[in-house]
Amino acid sequence: MPKSNKCVLVLWANGFEEATASIFITELRRAGIRVKIVSRTSHQIRGAHGLALVADLTLSQALPLLAEVTHLVIPATRHAMQPLKNDPYLSEFFDQITHHRIPILTCCKDKHSCHIIFSEAENISRFPVDNMYLTKFLQDFIRLAGNEDDNDI
């Protein structure tokens, strides 16, 4: 059961990393943090290894919720994000993410790679790609989230 009304969004698109998305979603929900998978469409989308996921919300449905969003997780490499760079729906979504100053967590290899996709975003953090280190990263993230006022993360 979620501890607060705050929410973490996980962006989902073709070629994204299923294991990374699954670890984020599972660990955050296990900790009582509300998580929503968002995508451009409400149809099944296949990840990098063929696993299909369906989003909880489309990008347009997620826009009104951004005031409650604490982080946007993007479980994808720069290579998987590149086809989305000029997508007008994603452009509007990222503009709003930037406007609301929502921190972005991604597995881009370096800040330069991240800024090619998110040119206006200021608050981008990288998480480890290796699943063992990712789980440790999330444990630390969740522990910090529990220490914030009103369970904000």
**CATH class of the domain at 7-151:** alpha beta
pLDDT of the residue at 150: 46
Mean pLDDT: which of 2-16, 43-57, 74-88, 113-127 is highest?
A: 43-57
User: CB-based contacts of 38: which residues, under 8 Å, 6+ apart?
Assistant: 9, 10, 11, 12, 55, 56, 57, 58, 59, 61, 62
Domain ranges of the chain: 7-151
Which residues of 14-117 form beta strands (DSSP E)? 34-39, 45-46, 52-53, 57-58, 69-74, 104-106
Cα 117-119-121 angle, rounded to 5 deg = 105
The answer to whether the beta carbons of residues 122 and 101 sit under 8 Å apart is yes
**Segment 42-57, tens digit of pLDDT:** 899 999 999 999 999 9
Residue 1 confidence class, pLDDT cut points 50, 70, 90: very low
pLDDT, tens digit (0-9, with 9 covering 90-100), for 93-147:
888 998 999 998 888 665 555 655 665 556 777 777 777 788 888 888 888 876 5
> Whole-model pTM?
0.84
